Amino acid sequence: MMLKNTPERWGAVSQLLHWLSVVLILGLGVLGLVMVELPRSPRWFWVYDLHKSLGLSVLALAALRLAWRAYAGAPRPVPGTPRWQARAASATHALLYLLVFAVPLSGWAYDSVSGLRPLRWFGLFKVPKLAAPSQELQPLVRDAHEWLFWILIALVAVHAAAAFYHHLFQRDATLARMLPGRGAASPSSTPAAEIR
């Protein structure tokens, strides 16, 4: 399996970064929703700390991912893809990237304006605050964090449905080329059923 992306498929690094981010983002969503239902007591601070540290890791992974994409390039659209579909996919991917930055940044901003205890990444080093504490901004930024998360989830639902549609109905390599499997030589036009 190639590390770098080729014109036909995603390499190991892009695949790892994509699926690791998926697991972390969905896990953080569940953790976030459960966490806000817990009684506000020091007993549960560790859950908040875990959410924040993992969330900041997603931000770092997103930056790494974009840097790797700039270096390793991206595959061409699967042959036969109508132009409107390629455009819709690019627009969705751009929005997904935007939200993968915006959601953790808004969480970090919320932590900052709340004027909470110093934030330490997995207890290892102190993370700077993005803004001064502000009673006024606090509810706004908290709502922004929650809403941006739900917008991300809605977009992910469309994105995942499109991937499954390609795999099950178009029977092309869209999903297969984001999964570990045969090397870069697999022609991307090979029906997914044949390269499984």
d(CA 49, CA 115): 15
Closest-CA residue to 2 (of 194, 190, 186, 150): 186
Number of C-beta neighbours around residue 173 at 10 A: 26
d(CA 53, CA 47): 10
What residues between 149 and 188 interact with ligand HEM by CB under 6 A?
149, 156, 159-160, 163, 174-175, 177-178
Interface residue with ligand HEM among 13, 56, 144, 192 (CB under 6 A) is: 56
The tokens of 36 are what?
A: 């806000």
Minimum distance from CB of 151 to ligand HEM (Å)? 11
Q: Is residue 103 at the binding interface for ligand HEM, with CB under 6 A as the rule?
A: yes
Q: Is residue 12 at the binding interface for ligand HEM, with CB under 6 A as the rule?
A: no
**How big is the site for ligand HEM, counted in residues (CB under 6 A)?**
43
d(CA 152, CA 96): 7
d(CA 70, CA 14): 11
The site for ligand HEM (CB under 6 A) is made up of: 18, 21-22, 25-26, 28-29, 32-33, 36, 48, 51-52, 55-56, 58, 69, 74-75, 89, 93, 96-97, 100, 103-104, 107-108, 110-111, 119, 142, 145-146, 149, 156, 159-160, 163, 174-175, 177-178
